[in-house]
Amino acid sequence: MTGGEHTRATHPPAAPVPEQVPLGLPVYRTAAWAFETAQEYADLLNGDRAGYSYSRNDNPTCVAFAEAVAAMEGANVPTPVTAQPFASGMAAIAAVFMTFTRAGGHVVAPREIYGGTYGLLTSVLDRFGVTATFADSTDPAGLRAAIRPETTLLWGETLANPTMTVADLPGLAAVAREAGIPFAVDSTFASPAVCRPLEHGVDVVVHSATKYIGGHSDVTGGVAVGSPELMDRVRHVRIDLGGVLSPDDAFLLHRGLATLPLRMDRHCRTALAVATALAEHPKVVRVDHPGLPGHRDHDLVVKLFDEGRYGAVVTVTPEGDRAAGLALCDALQLVRRATSLGGTHSKVSHVASTTHRQLGDAALAAAGIGPAAVRISVGLEDAEDLVADLVQALDQL
């Protein structure tokens, strides 16, 4: 490029486009792409040619991340599976609701739904004329009865927080099919290295990639996965809502995926060891983890989840009231008091005062949650160190 100093500075030589495939994922940190001709530009916007124009629409690094998740979720699905990337789990969930609902429409969702999704349905989408019924997801007959002529979506969660209730995915998918509506699930607590809901008849899977997929508590992201037809509809809503993932965050999430099966295997096996040890402690009245043979959904989790990977959250309820739960958290020396889940560190939350703080004791009891319940997101530490820390904290109660 010739010309003046400022022209040369703004139009440097283009970066080489290597023929070889890079092993690491290139980060396409650009908002826009340039075209050889004005016609190419117009053709791309009209959908008459493939390519990239603007990163809110599509960005190769973000596409690579989403397709890596699709490859894991769709591993054993005979039909094509694709995915859409988002800036957070909530951005993915919002786009899925906005795609599959309309004013005057109705959603059936589980009673133990994640608080952010509950808030979206009851204090945002309700203002746009979408109503929701929260039903007992363990009772297919009750769910079927909650579906109305105007219901446009059945929503589920593969593993519910904090009771670790396991969704009967094939049973719920049959209910949705019978009603002629799509069935979407939030599979954040499982991840595709534990359970792949598309294999069980689910139409759309969403994740907060902030959790296990990223895996290191250093990035927020989300993803929606399903057939190309459904994902094309979700993509249009994503572009118009604008909650798009940044290429730098897509890089971190893509890197996280490489170790997801390794991490999930360890997270889950350690969680079962922790759950088994805590169930024997005299101060413990209840432990919720579906890997325990006594958990209500143990047979279901063995049927639907990969062997030995039954989730990495353990909810422990000590004797006593809310103060006992707070005291248990405060007595921990290794396990951190922090929000979120799925990172390398083990973390605890006192359920009644954090994730479920909107619920009074009666509502907590109806949801099967004791006032002292503490949710443990089991990290990658040594199981014996975690058990020793939890046991010394319980001994102090």
Ligand X SMILES: Cc1ncc(COP(=O)(O)O)c(C=O)c1O
In terms of CB distance, is 112 or 203 closer to ligand X?
Answer: 112
User: Which residue, 160 or 284, is less far from ligand X as judged by CB?
Assistant: 160
Question: Is the Cβ of residue 84 or residue 208 nearer to ligand X in the bound state?
Answer: 208
With CB under 6 A as the contact rule, the residue among 97, 114, 251, 305 that binds ligand X is 114
Question: Should residue 61 be labelled a site residue for ligand X when binding is judged by CB under 6 A?
Answer: no
Known active-site residue 232? no
Quick one: which segment of 3-11, 183-191, 273-281, 312-320 binds ligand X (CB under 6 A)?
Answer: 183-191
Asked whether position 311 contacts ligand X by CB under 6 A, the answer is: no
* DSSP code of residue 166: B
Q: Which of 131, 389, 155 is nearest to 277 (CA)?
A: 389
> Interface with ligand X includes 349 (CB under 6 A)?
no
Q: Tell me the per-residue interface mask from 325 to 344 with ligand X, x by CB under 6 A, - otherwise.
A: ---------------x----
Alpha carbon 146 to its chain centroid, in Å, reads 25
Of 218, 191, 209, the closest CA to residue 345 belongs to 218
Q: Is 265 a catalytic residue?
A: no
* Nearest residue to ligand X, by Cβ distance, number only: 89
Specify whether the CB–CB gap between 375 and 259 falls below 8 A. Answer: no
Show the DSSP H helices in 242-310 as ranges: 247-258, 260-279, 298-304
Using the rule CB under 6 A, is 186 a contact of ligand X?
A: yes
Q: How far is the CB of 124 from ligand X (least distance, A)?
A: 14
Instruction: Decide if 186 is catalytic.
Output: yes
Of the ranges 75-83, 85-93, 233-241, 265-273, which one interacts with ligand X (CB under 6 A)? 85-93
Distance, in Å, from the CA atom of 224 to the CA atom of 85, rounded to the nearest integer, reads: 7
- Compute the chain's Rg from CA coordinates: 23
From candidates 35, 116, 136, 269, binder to ligand X by CB under 6 A:
116
In the chain, DSSP assigns E strands to: 82-86, 106-110, 131-135, 151-157, 183-186, 204-208, 222-226, 284-288, 313-318, 336-337, 347-350, 374-377
- Enzyme catalytic residues: 56, 114, 186, 211
